[in-house]
Amino acid sequence: MEFDFKNGEILLINKHVNWTSFDVVKKIRNTISRATGSKKVKVGHAGTLDPLASGLLVICTGKYTKRINEFQNQDKEYTGTLYIGATTPSFDGETETDQRFATSHIDENLLKQTAKLFEGDQLQIPPSFSAININGMRAYHKARNKEKFDLPPRRIHIQSFEITRIEMPVVGFKISCSKGTYIRSLARDYGTALDSGAYLTSLTRTRIGSFFLADAISVEEFEFQIRSLEGL
């Protein structure tokens, strides 16, 4: 296997939980710099994953960084789990539970029927704990400082929302959706639609367009490949 990082490579990386997308880019960039002896090779990713999410990151190098928007605009697929009957300020496990709700009225039929209601075009309000830029500051900084602010809704499209496992209060799902969809916001809205509450407990991105997690490697595997090629 040979790489041409300057002219452009597309690397499929399986991001670990608790890594930021920038952590992955930085690690890949440093690995390439050591192997090539050059710090001028561009490296970027096509679509951010939250630190608590795992799965597919499409990393572009060199001239292929010009194609990042092309890849970012493609549909995404995710699998994960929801906790039904409670909410958190961040809509996931980053923050502590702030409210609890009744779940005795929720059965398999309601869970599956409610998921189907979210398929199609819709407006979605992003989570306040997000990387959206507000007057030069990331939204999550304001949220952590308990500042009050509003984020405008965004138009998204959900091709499919399938409930794959039910072990109340934990529910598994598989979602195919457009660029810009926040699964954490979907968890919040899904809980509300159930006349209860919900938050995201795990998330894995399994596909971006025609790129699949099954074909991805870890950062450690990429480093090993480069060391093997360079005799390091």
82 touches 171 (CB < 8 A):
yes
Q: How confident is the model at residue 78 (pLDDT cuts 50, 70, 90)?
A: very high
Contacts of residue 39, Cβ cutoff 8 Å, sequence gap at least 6 = 33
C-beta atoms surrounding 12 within 10 Å? 17
Cis peptide before 152 (omega within 30 of 0): no
Predicted confidence (pLDDT) per residue in 55-75, tens digit = 999 999 999 999 999 999 999
The active-site residue out of 50, 98, 150, 195 is 50
Q: Which domains does the chain have, with CATH numbers?
A: 10-73+210-230 (3.30.2350.10), 76-208 (3.30.2350.10)
One-letter identity of residue 215: D
Going by pLDDT thresholds of 50, 70 and 90, the confidence category of residue 232 is very low
pLDDT for residue 228: 75
Q: What is the mean pLDDT of residues 15-32?
A: 94
State pLDDT tens for residues 113-139.
999 999 999 999 887 766 666 666 666
For residue 50, indicate whether it is catalytic: yes
Burial of 20 (0-12, 13-18, 19+ CB in 10 A): middle
Name, in order, each residue with C-beta under 8 angstroms of 113's C-beta and a sequence gap of 6 or more.
none
